[in-house]
Amino acid sequence: MIGLQPPQLEALREALETAEPRLSTREIDALLLAVRRQHEDPEEHDRSLISERLAWSPDERLHALQSFLAFVERARTSGEP
């Protein structure tokens, strides 16, 4: 698969900087790297995510699940009139 081209990456960088001005250059670079890797090899992302999650403690897993459920609830209620 052909990777993202420099103009696409630059447009994504600008969009991230606009949408999330609190992000540091280092954080944006990490996000761009993750997007590029996901685009080039979707299976690699899944493997690394699984490995990362398996290394978490039970408390970390519970916190991540609670955060995700709170996010879903906010998303569901924000669309209501």
The confidence score (pLDDT) of residue 2 equals 61
At residue 53, the pLDDT reads 86
Does 57 reside within a domain? no
Domain that holds residue 9: 1-40
d(CA 42, CA 24): 26
Cα 32 from Cα 43, distance rounded (Å): 17
- Whether 46 has a pLDDT exceeding 90, the answer reads no
What's the domain count of the chain?
1
Burial of 9 (0-12, 13-18, 19+ CB in 10 A): middle
Query: Is residue 67 over pLDDT 70?
Result: yes
**Residue 12, domain member (yes or no):** yes
- Does residue 62 form part of some domain? no
Average pLDDT, the chain: 85
Task: Name the strand (E) or helix (H) holding 15.
Answer: helix 6-19
